[in-house]
Each structure stands twice: as C-alpha cells, then as structure tokens.
Chain A
Amino acid sequence: MKLRRFTEVGITRFDDFRASSARTENQLRAILEDVACSVSTGADIDVERVHFPTRFSVGEYLHGLLDDVAAPGVNTDVGTWTWLSAFYFEQLCPQGSSPGDRPRWVPAVDNYRQYYRHLLAGPYLIYRAHNDNPHRAMALLANPPHQPGDIAEQLASRQELVTNPSVMEVATRLYINSATNSPKRGAAGRGAGSARRLAAILNQLDLTWDLYGLDPDKLLDLLPEEFDQFKP
C-alpha cells in the first residue's frame, strides 16, 4: 500500500477508534481507506505489512523507507506517523492489550520528551541517530514494538542522552545480554544499577564531565559500584 498521511479528520477518527472498547479490523480498514481520512504524502513510497519482532526492526525498516525520499518533511509529519501507527495497529496493540495514551500513536513532534514515546517514530529516531552503528543503541531497541520498556522510558526522553554514542554504547553494554540481544534481569525498575539509576547518575556526571566526548570505557569506569553487577 502506498504511504499516506492522516488528515485532521483521520486523526480524530483514529483517536475515537482507539478509545472504543469494541474495536474491529473492519473499522480500522475503513479509516485507512476512507479518502476523507487520509491523503497522499506526495512521495511514492510502498509500505509493506512487515512483521516487527523488535523495536530495532521497526527502526531499521522505517529508516530504509523514509530517509531517502524526495518529499522533505515526511519523516516529521504528524499525519504520516499517525497513519503508519494505524497501518501497523495490530502489531502495536496486540489482542487483549490496551492502546495506552495518545503520544504513543499521534507523535508530539514539538516536544522531544513525548516524541520518543511514539511507538514507531521513537525507534525510528533512535535508529536514525545511530545509523552508523545502530546496534550500539540496542538497549533502547531490544523490546517488542508495543512495549518500549523502562530503559527506553528513562533514557530516550532526553535528546542529549539518546543521541550520545557513548551513553548508548554504555547502556547497551550494561543492560543487553550480548548472546540473546535481550534485556538483562534487573535493568528495569528502581533497583541499584538500573536504567533509572543510570539516568540519575548521568545527570550528576553531566555537571563535571563532557558526556558527549567521553569514551564508553571511561564512562563505564566513572559509574559507581552499584553498576558492577551489569558490567560486561
């Protein structure tokens, strides 16, 4: 199907769809196909019904789809991202789960803290920021698309952290099992050495150290003992 963008009418109908307790596949298809709900983006892009096992696969696919297009602004357009959310709705809201709040579906492009919460734009932005070595950001991309997880919640909301290659490298070394590419136990939550604690420690280190220029090994050395349990 050709990539489209929702109009205001389409966004409102999609909001109503998600809020309904009796959502059906037919209703969703109607919204996607109704010409009142969406228009062409102006870019000739084919979107496929790809299965995304992880947020990494979301970022990889959408980066390939959107980053070399002739229509500028497509990759920051609220209508386009919302349409994509609807297109992949079944994967982003599996049977029995709740859609969650609006920024997950309609991107808050003016507010970076909210922008990263979008279930598709979030992984896309992270992947794009590290497209020279996207595996470095695996800490934020290892989870399934509908469950960004606590590590992403703690680290993705600040652009200076999420775009920082050293911080992302360190987070991945700490919290991702390199054999399975899945998060380690204890990485989420509030415990010692968790991602929440890493965000807090980075805030403190930011006052004294130039985090952007620090080598990942050096940054790991600066972390207090509570992180030793996660260090490779």
Chain B
Amino acid sequence: MPARRIHFTGRRRLTTQDVRISLYNEAVPLAFEIPHFSLKRHDLPGDALVRVEAYRQSTYMPFDLGTVANVRLPGHLALTEFNTPDAIRFRVKVTSVAEATDGQLLAVGDRIRPAWVDGGQESLLPVRPASLDQEVFRLDLEDEPVLLINDKIDRWRDVSRDEHFVALVYPMVLRAILTHIVPDNMPDAEESDDWRFMWLRFAKTHPGISDPPDDDKGGDDLSAGDWIDAVVAEFCKRHHTYDTFARRWDSEDDL
C-alpha cells in the first residue's frame, strides 16, 4: 500500500493561495498561463530559482520562471507534449542557489489543478483514449485516477457515458479508487485540492455515508472494506445500475 506523504520541515508548501494556473483546454496545442503568482508570504530568498512543471502520469514539461525577486510570467506557454487537457497537473518548485544549500528545494506546490479557460470542467474521473490492444477499458491509478478507453473505438467518449457501461464499470472503478485511498493513502485535512480529498468528498455525498475509517480495524468500528462496500452500494442505488443492466439483459432474452 502506498505510504502517507511526508512533509519536510523547512520546505514551504505552496497552495492555491500562492499560485493559480489556467489551462486553455481547447487550444491547439494546449497552453497554460499563470494568472496569479505570489510568494510574498513565504519569505524566500530573492535569488532562488522558480520553475513550473506540467505533468500527467509520466509525461513532463518544465518551464523556467526566473527568480523569486524577478518572476517572469509569460503569456501562453504551449504544452506540446500533451494531446488532451484531462488530468494535466502542475508543480511549482523554488530552489536555493546559496552556496551551502545550492539545489535544495525551498518551496514546492504539487498536484496543482488548472482552471479550464475554454469552457467545461474537468471531470472527477478524467477519461482518455489509449492504445489498449484488446482491453476495452483500464483504470489507471499510477497517479490520479484516469479511465482509459480503447482508442480503436470511434466514439470512445460516448462509451464512457453509455448507461450500460456506467452500470457495469463504474461501481468497480469507484471501489478500486476508494480501496486505493482508504485507509493507507488518506489525504491531509488541508489538502482540499488533492484528488483523494475530492473522491472522499464525492463518497460522502451519498446517503448515510460519513467519514471513512482511518485505519482498518474491525470490531465495533466500521472497517475500511465495510465503508467502501456501503459507498458502492449507495452509488449503485443512486444510478439504478442493476435495473439498467437487467433491462438490457432481459430485452435481449426477448429477441
């Protein structure tokens, strides 16, 4: 199971209070800009270097932004390595150039979700086409969850919205994601932008679902497995997944 993330003392954590990023989600190529950037509250050395990195899974593009005292915020920066806007995240790094600490990270903001400028919004579960050979779909949990659909399907996006696909696939997807988070990979309370926080918040929108257990003890307390079962059950009720499947299955019997 993935370990909890470790905070290192002395290294500042940058949040949306310090930096916000906008993504031109329909531009070709995709592009971003940084409409808000301020490090004033962190008391960082003026000569420290600033860089922003765009990434998704293992794709990565770095952009130098100058120094703390003289940050350059160019307009549109092209994201030529990315072909779709879903699940692109940003990381901002401030690095020391002082002799004793040259190269050390002084501040980091990670998993920054950009705001989409050209309309629409990013789904909680981004869907992307991928070369999957004979797999119809795959849930990628390498970083944030992404649902991959076989790119040989012409209307791959429609597939992800098809009610029968939702009925069969999404309960499993939800279970897999929550199992990935609870109980050993829980987000910190203040990380409201964190994808794990968003998924737990989504879980709690279902009737009768409260905070997840933060360990896997059984007994009188609800175990992680029981909590996840309860969420998936409520999700299925909300979306009438069995009824949807049964209706289709029974109608095929009638043929």
Contact = CB atoms under 8 A, between A and B. Distances in A.
A91 interface: no
B60 A210 contact: no
Contact of B129 (A8, A110, A163, A215): A110
14 contacts: A110-B83, A110-B128, A110-B130, A111-B57, A111-B58, A113-B57, A158-B58, A160-B62, A207-B6, A207-B8, A207-B105, A210-B49, A212-B51, A218-B103
A218 B58 contact: no
Interface string A37-56: 00000000000000000000
A102 interface: yes
Interface in B1-43: 6, 8, 11
A208 interface: yes
Nearest to A108: B131
A210 B59 contact: no
Contact of A113 (B6, B8, B58): B58
Contacts of B62: 160, 212
B151 interface: yes
B131 A78 contact: yes
A158 B143 CA distance: 13
A170 interface: no
B188 interface: no
A214 interface: yes
Contacts of A106: 131
Interface string A82-119: 00000000000000000000100011111111000000
A157 interface: yes
Interface in B75-121: 81, 83, 93, 95, 102-105
Interface residues of A, number: 25
B133 interface: yes
Contacts of A108: 130-131
B55 interface: yes
Nearest to B11: A208
B95 A213 contact: yes
Contacts of A214: 103
Contacts, number: 67
Interface in B119-163: 128-131, 133, 142, 148, 151-152
B53 interface: yes
A160 B130 contact: no
A104 B140 CA distance: 20
A159 B51 contact: no
Contacts of A209: 103-105
B102 A218 contact: yes
B51 A210 contact: yes
A72 to B, nearest CB: 11
Nearest to A214: B103
A210 B53 contact: no
A53 B55 CA distance: 34
In the complex, the 5 A-B pairs of residues with the closest C-beta atoms, listed nearest first: A112-B58, A210-B95, A159-B60, A160-B60, A214-B103
Nearest to A159: B60
Contacts of A158: 58, 60
Given A110-B151, A213-B95, A159 B131 contact: no
Contacts of A157: 58
B51 A208 contact: no
Given A8-B152, A78-B131, A112 B59 contact: yes
Nearest to A158: B58
A159 B58 contact: yes
A114 B47 CA distance: 38
Max chain B CB contacts within 10 Å: which of A108, A111, A113? A111
B146 to A, nearest CB: 10
A112 B56 CA distance: 9
A107 B148 CA distance: 16
A110 B126 CA distance: 14
Contacts of B81: 159
A158 B56 CA distance: 11
A135 B185 CA distance: 41
A19 B128 CA distance: 28
